[in-house]
Chain A
Amino acid sequence: MANPNETPTIASHLHACGVSRRSFLQLCTALMVTAPVGLSLTSKASAEEIAQVIGKARRPSVIWLHFQDCTGCSETLLRTSRPDVADLILNVISLDYHETLMAASGHQAEDALKQAVSDNLGKFVLVVEGSIPTKDQGQYMKLAGRPALEVLRDVGRKSAAVIAMGSCASWGGVPSADPNPTGAQGVDSILTEKPVVNLPGCPTNPYNLLAVVLEYATMGRLPALDQYNRPKFAYDRVIHDHCPRRAHFDAGRFAREFGDEGHRQGWCLYKLGCKGPVTHAACSTRPFNEIPDVWPIGIGAPCVGCTEKAVAFRVPIFDTVDIHAATPPEALPLVHTPVGTIGTAAAAMVGAIAGGIGGAALMASKRLPDGGTAAHVTAGSSLDSTPQRPKGE
């Protein structure tokens, strides 16, 4: 599929394929709209800018390996339309090996993998779907006779970056559930020296993959990752913090049984065991199948925490989880709320009253004679006490 001599830019490739500039711009608009916030790609102001950036980019080569998987993550990728999958795999990326989508099979397929790897040595992006069995020398999954462990190490060594698509590839997923008979593990515990981007989910929202690939293709770098190597733009918040049913939680409106009044009204599913409070994912903001509200909670099924290693396939689906906020909200009042103020007018009035009374008392006391006897009192004054001569005499 790829020209071994020169990897053309996306723009030139599209031109060669006969795709009009208009269609290409439409693609760029779609990318701008649907790509998640938090990517440097989406900080571009217009489709033209994106077109410019993408146009100059080389179509990255992508090799997609399947191990202990259900192919659900590929299926979810097929259910995107902006851009159309065909557009995606033919024009934006160069999907050089994908067991489900490619036409080749048997020896042809083995050759295709060898060819793809050698043609793009050190430059391709490896996408892994499914967990890798490690027990008993990894014999529980073999690809063309070779253990998955070996294949991963071999191909992974030669890649530029690794994306672990889905919970199985990220931390083991379903195959790793108790008692984990095959020793299933995620990619990053095997390929320890390569940069691995984990996109957990069962399945992951396909736009997470799209965004990471595009970011890498256009900007040449991977998006910011958290401590579990998950891109922050999709996994930094728990579902509980951006759930459309949060208002019901806050008001204490819970569905208590499937099909009851509250369930029909679309109330919070916390009491039915929703793991939203402890699950980092972006499902509430990017619906599956591109239909609004198509995600578990949206259709009335409590979240099972499929992205989280500690939750999915470990905590029973209908068990409620503890909710802990990292920091308490600022909006709550403190234990002792201040109350009462002093007004300037009131303070002035008190001063005036005190002054008035004090002044009157002072004035009065000044007029009172001090320590004197009658000798100090002048005749006829207010406090003269000498007997008056009666009138008329």
Chain B
Amino acid sequence: MAITRRDVLKTLTTGTAVAATTGTALSGVTHAEEQVAPPPAAVGMLYDATRCIGCQSCVAACAEANQLQPDTRLDPLHQAPRDLNYTTKNIIKLYKPTDGKSYSYVKQQCMHCVDPACVAGCMFKGLKKDPHTGVVTWNSQLCVGCRYCEISCPYHIPKFQWEGFNPKIVKCELCKERLAVGQQPACTSVCPAQAVIFGTRAELLAEAKRRIQQNPGKYYQDRIYGEHEGGGTQVLYLSRVPFEKLGLPELSQESIPAKYLKWQKRVYSYLAVPVVLYASIVGVIRNNWKDHQEHVQEEAKKTGVRAQL
């Protein structure tokens, strides 16, 4: 086929369009690369596993404050959850190594990440991060029950209610009702050993750093978990044993949405790439459409049978 002026023009336009689109998309790079910072009034908790005595007052207090039914599936007389679930927003677990000596307790609840993966995945913003306090909350009116949050959360926190026909996603919301009236979350207010305390993220970081400084060698790698992990969390951890043993994964300093959804954001920014691709596809099809139609009409004439679209 000889190259016509039309072809040249088309190629040029397509080329420019593609270049423009890529430029626009890549310009979204600078936006996508920015690390999300904690909100100005970010509040959280500091849990020091070396102070925790495993008394579980926090578990009882959380259940009471959130009006949750006790999990009596294993033991009909006592609230004995095996894991966080649809009726347990806070739990104390035991890390028991084989040597039986360096055991540690760990408190598990929502980490209220600075850039949460669950919020990034939630289709209709059912999980939302408060722009002031940074507390991640769930809205039953927006949630579809797709459980993408369960898949995305690196700490396995959101739990789905598997029974019944009005299932919820259940997770710690830092006792937002208590916070609203100036109280502390239930768990931090009852801890007898002051193992978990409440405060602004800045205060808690300062306190944790102070403890590390005053007790060199006591804390694992002299590190505060949650300061940078996964982009930072608002619930911070101090521990004597490796964090991985307590179920806290070693994440990179980039948050999960920033690290993994980079290209999705770039390709779909302003829908530029899809629109340009669509335009090019339609252009090519229209070109081939004419040839095809001619061919089909010829066949119809030859055989005498109606052409099929």
Contact = CB atoms under 8 A, between A and B. Distances in A.
Interface of A: 249-254, 270-271, 320, 322-325, 327-329, 331-337, 339
Interface of A is mostly: loop
B103 A337 contact: no
Q: Which of B56, B105, B247 is most buried by chain A, counting CB atoms within 10 A of its CB?
A: B56
Given A253-B190, A325-B53, A328-B103, 11 more contacts: A250-B60, A251-B61, A254-B190, A270-B192, A327-B100, A328-B54, A328-B94, A328-B96, A328-B105, A333-B82, A334-B93
Nearest to A254: B192
5 contacts: A251-B60, A322-B193, A328-B94, A329-B94, A332-B105
Interface in B117-153: none
A333 B96 CA distance: 10
Contacts of B58: 252
B81 interface: yes
B222 interface: no
B95 A335 contact: yes
B247 A250 contact: no
A335 B246 contact: yes
Contacts, number: 68
Contact of B94 (A251, A253, A270, A333): A333
Interface string B47-66: 00000011111101100000
Contact of A333 (B81, B190, B193): B81
Contacts of A253: 190
B93 A323 contact: no
Contacts of B82: 333, 337
Q: Which 7 A-B pairs have the closest CB atoms?
A: A252-B190, A252-B57, A332-B94, A337-B83, A335-B247, A251-B60, A323-B53
Interface of B: 53-58, 60-61, 80-83, 91-96, 100, 103, 105-106, 190-193, 245-247
A249 B193 CA distance: 11
A335 B245 contact: yes
Contact of B95 (A270, A271, A334): A334
Contacts of B190: 252-254
Q: Which of A252, A325, A331, A337 is most buried by chain B, counting CB atoms within 10 A of its CB?
A: A252
Contacts of A251: 57, 60-61
Contact of A334 (B57, B80, B94, B193): B94
A270 B55 CA distance: 13
A250 B95 contact: no
B105 A249 contact: no
A325 to B, nearest CB: 7
Given A249-B192, A270-B192, A328-B105, A336 B57 contact: no
B192 A333 contact: no
Contacts of A320: 192
A318 B192 CA distance: 14
Contacts of B56: 250, 332
A329 B94 CA distance: 9
Nearest to A277: B53
A332 B92 contact: yes
Contacts of B55: 249-250, 252, 323
Nearest to A268: B192
Q: Which of A250, A320, A333 is most buried by chain B, counting CB atoms within 10 A of its CB?
A: A333
Contacts of B92: 332
Contacts of B191: 252
A333 B53 contact: no
B237 to A, nearest CB: 13
A339 B83 contact: yes
A89 B106 CA distance: 56
B91 A333 contact: yes
Contacts of B54: 325, 328-329, 332
A140 B193 CA distance: 43
Nearest to B58: A252
Q: Which of B55, B60, B105 is most buried by chain A, counting CB atoms within 10 A of its CB?
A: B55
Nearest to B244: A335
Contacts of B60: 250-252
A11 B57 CA distance: 55
A333 B61 contact: no
Given A322-B193, A335-B93, A250 B57 contact: yes
Contacts of B193: 322-323
Contacts of A334: 93-96
B93 A332 contact: yes
Contact of B192 (A252, A327, A339): A252
A339 B61 CA distance: 26
Nearest to A247: B60
B162 to A, nearest CB: 11
Given A333-B82, A335-B106, A252 B61 contact: yes
B85 to A, nearest CB: 10
Q: Which of A249, A251, A327, A332 is most buried by chain B, counting CB atoms within 10 A of its CB?
A: A332
B57 to A, nearest CB: 3
A331 B53 contact: no
A271 B189 CA distance: 13
A333 B93 contact: yes
Contacts of B91: 333
Contacts of A250: 55-57, 60
Contacts of B246: 335
A263 to B, nearest CB: 16
A324 B53 contact: yes
A336 B105 contact: no
Nearest to B248: A335
Nearest to B55: A250
Nearest to B75: A331
Contacts of B57: 249-252
